[in-house]
Structure 1
Amino acid sequence: MPMQAHEIEELLRETFPDAKIMVEGDDGVHMSAVVIDESFRGLNRVQQQRAVYAALKGKMDGPTGELHALALTTRVPD
């Protein structure tokens, strides 16, 4: 079953409670997210994105994953 934007945000919020999180997309399969969080400070982009994917708890794993594609932007707050 495809994931809705609010479901993705809820999963991310568990790991990044103080982050600014914006999730968009209306087909439930191809989504985009922006996660801005202080915990990313000192991490490179790959490390930041791995942290976000880990927070999704396997929802993108393999051909049977609930989320097929997530265009992801991560950064630290200004």
Structure 2
Amino acid sequence: MKESYIKDKIESAVPGSSVDITGDGVHFEAVIISESFEGLSTLDRHKIVYSALGDDMKENIHALSMKTFTPKEHKLGD
């Protein structure tokens, strides 16, 4: 599985998102930044991303480690 495919799926499902993803084809790490995460818990943010990936999470992606931020949270972390 290519990083670009996962990036496109997440960016299509999460409005206004910016996704940075790295991986080895089955194990991936992602940083996802979106205004739409405002007011959501980390769990709810991750549910949105997992939902965007659908069956790929069951069939093609062995592991996905993610960090989700609003733009403001990401800026504070820099």
- Using the size of structure 1 for normalisation, the TM-score is 0.86
The one-letter code of the counterpart of 2:28 is M
Shift of 1:57: 1.9
Partner deviation per Cα, 1:37-67 (whole Å, 9 max, x = no partner): 0111110000000001001122112xxx100
Residue of structure 2 in register with 1:57 after alignment: 54
Structure 2: state its 5+ residue gaps: 73-78
Higher helix proportion (structure 1 or 2): 2
Shift of 1:20: 1.4
Aligned residue pairs, count: 72
- Using the size of structure 2 for normalisation, the TM-score is 0.86
16, 19, 35: which one aligns with 1:18: 16
Structure 1: state its 5+ residue gaps: none
30, 33, 55: which one aligns with 1:33: 30
Contact 2:16 2:36 in 1 (8 A): no
- 2:54, 2:8 → 1: CA distance? 12
The one-letter code of the counterpart of 1:10 is D
Moved over 4 A (4+): none
Identity value in percent: 36
Alpha carbon RMSD of aligned pairs, Å?
A: 1.0
The one-letter code of the counterpart of 1:6 is S
- 1:50, 1:6 → 2: CA distance? 20
